[in-house]
């Protein structure tokens, strides 16, 4: 999109495009490059993750909110950044940045390395390719996850669907900022409107939230907060567990269907002498 400027129009609350007469029209006075690297908790590069440079405060009409993506080496680059104060956002990190005019600095670019960043993954919103990249699995496994996302209640379920070991899934989740699925409570078999109201008052808004309280001590505390009997709570948790078991059976059947058929071996005919 050479020769095209992209900016945010506050009047129409939308992104606008306009053709530039020359490059000088686009380059602000005193503009500088802002570049750097994005690395995770183990200082490994994070490839293909979004990076934003957002002006602080209430930017005037026509202000560019810049976005880019790291390359395979985890590096990013914003050209022609207007002097000012910004928030540099990558993954779960936000870094305050001040870009001083080019004439006031001995370096033409401002270099910033972001370490300890965790890639943000939302299982219900993140694209298939990014989830596959984050977990080191195939797109087929991620699509299988999307089909059974309502029944994913914890780490064990996630490992089962993606075909990962407990050790591998634990190490991967430590490097990510995860937004877990939120399956509505009303979809749980046997739950009543009164149960839902009591759970929501106690901060339980999904089946995943309920499943996090499956341990004995947590059940006793939740029973007290909701005025429900431990037996009633245990019954609902059993229904949630049955949902997980059913989901795993579907996943196992799906995996068998997607396994390539083994070619039949053929014996070569013996040559006649």
Total domain count, the chain: 3
Other C-beta atoms closer than 10 Å to the C-beta of 175 total 16
- pLDDT, tens digit, for every residue of 142-168? 998 888 888 899 999 999 999 999 999
Q: What's residue 57's pLDDT?
A: 75
Domain boundary among 164, 181, 198: 181
The domain in which residue 129 lies consists of 119-181
Q: What's residue 83's pLDDT?
A: 87
- pLDDT, tens digit, for every residue of 235-259? 999 999 998 888 777 766 665 555 5
Residue 51 has pLDDT above 50, yes or no: yes
**CB–CB of 69/75 below 8 Å?**
no
Query: Does the residue 78 lie in any domain?
Result: yes
> 9 and 86 share a domain?
yes
Residue 73 pLDDT grade (very low, low, confident, very high; cuts 50, 70, 90) = very high
> 59 and 86 share a domain?
yes
Nearest one of 248, 239, 126 to 185, comparing CA atoms: 239
């Amino acid at each position: 999109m050479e020769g095209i400027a992209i900016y945010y129009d506050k009047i129409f609350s939308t992104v606008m495009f306009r053709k530039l007469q020359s490059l000088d029209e686009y380059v602000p006075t005193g503009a500088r490059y802002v570049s750097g690297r994005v690395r995770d908790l183990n200082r490994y590069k994070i490839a293909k993750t979004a990076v934003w440079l957002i002006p602080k405060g209430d930017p005037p009409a026509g202000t560019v909110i810049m976005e880019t993506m790291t390359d395979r080496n985890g590096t990013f680059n914003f050209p022609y950044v207007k002097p000012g104060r910004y928030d540099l956002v990558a993954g779960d990190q936000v870094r305050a940045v001040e870009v001083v005019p080019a004439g006031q600095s001995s370096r033409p670019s401002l270099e910033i390395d972001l370490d300890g960043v965790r890639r943000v993954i939302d299982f219900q919103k993140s694209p298939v390719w990014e989830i596959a990249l984050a977990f080191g699995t195939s797109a087929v496994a991620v699509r299988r996850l999307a089909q059974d996302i309502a029944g994913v209640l914890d780490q064990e379920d996630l490992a089962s669907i993606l075909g990962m070991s407990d050790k591998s899934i634990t190490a991967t989740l430590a490097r990510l900022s995860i937004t877990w699925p939120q399956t509505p409570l009303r979809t749980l078999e046997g739950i009543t409107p009164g149960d839902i109201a009591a759970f929501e008052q106690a901060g339980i808004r999904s089946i995943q939230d309920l499943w996090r309280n499956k341990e004995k001590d947590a059940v006793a505390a939740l029973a007290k907060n909701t005025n429900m009997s431990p037996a009633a709570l245990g019954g609902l948790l059993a229904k949630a567990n049955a949902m997980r078991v059913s989901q795993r059976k579907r996943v196992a059947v799906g995996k068998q269907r997607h396994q390539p058929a083994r070619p039949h071996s053929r014996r070569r005919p013996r040559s006649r002498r």
